[in-house]
């Protein structure tokens, strides 16, 4: 696997994905009953925006960097930006850390990560949080074991790197299988817009 999110953390795609995740989590918090978050691609949890990787692409500067400097942003983005500011000046939270910040005492987060070095970093970032369970493995194998969650409410985030042939079909099947087992869940499914015919199918 060649994809490393350290080069892309805080880019326009992260802004869209994470602002959406924050909106969903705030919606779930409106009810007192607990919910679960299942993050199928946890990554390393926290990204250094001053790193060589981040500076090489400049993607964060063009996206989250611009938003953080702006005096006027759409209201829907404000809770997300407030959360990100809590990790500044030079760090950007991945989806597991964003979720962990918005969990209540009775809510739970399960984050899956396949790559050993990313998993090790994620463990360091979240090891002290009792509401969190980390799984070192492949989401295709692990997700069916996790749905439906005991809470019977929750959100599932599926965000593969889409590096290999057939990965979109694999992710789509994982989504369909999970939805059959947990039809009342909220699914955030990141898909490759460049594969438009496959997406429409």
Give CA–CA dist 71/52, Å, rounded.
28
Taking each helix axis from N to C terminus, what angle separates 95-102 and 116-126, rounded to the nearest 10 degrees?
A: 20
Burial class (CB in 10 A: 0-12, 13-18, 19+), 162: middle
Residues pairing with 91 in the sheet: 48
Phi, psi of 190 (to 5 degrees): -85, 125
The dihedral of CA 170, 176, 178, 181: what is its sign? negative
Give CA–CA dist 98/78, Å, rounded.
14
Q: Which of 61, 138, 159, 165 is catalytic?
A: 159
Does the active-site annotation cover 14? no
Is residue 191 a contact partner of residue 199, using CB atoms and an 8 Å limit? yes
The token pair at 134 is 């980390």
- Catalytic residue numbers? 159
């Amino acid at each position: 696997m060649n994809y490393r999110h350290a080069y892309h953390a805080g880019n326009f795609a992260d802004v869209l994905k994470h602002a959406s995740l924050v909106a969903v989590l705030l919606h779930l918090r409106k009810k007192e009953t607990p919910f679960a978050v299942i993050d199928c691609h946890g990554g390393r949890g926290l990204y250094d925006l001053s790193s060589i990787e981040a500076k090489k692409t400049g993607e964060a500067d063009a996206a989250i960097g611009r938003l953080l400097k702006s005096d006027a942003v759409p209201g829907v983005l404000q809770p997300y930006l407030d959360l990100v500011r809590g990790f500044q000046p030079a760090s950007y939270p991945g989806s597991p850390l964003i979720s962990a910040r918005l969990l209540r005492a009775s809510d739970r987060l399960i984050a899956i990560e396949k790559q050993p070095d990313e998993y090790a970093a994620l463990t360091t970032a979240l090891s002290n949080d009792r509401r969190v369970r980390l799984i070192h493995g492949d989401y295709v194998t692990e997700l069916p074991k996790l749905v439906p969650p005991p809470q019977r409410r929750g959100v599932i985030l599926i965000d593969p790197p889409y590096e290999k042939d057939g990965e979109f079909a694999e992710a789509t099947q994982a989504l369909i299988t999970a939805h059959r087992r947990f039809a009342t869940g909220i699914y955030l499914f990141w898909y490759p817009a460049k594969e438009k015919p496959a997406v429409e199918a």
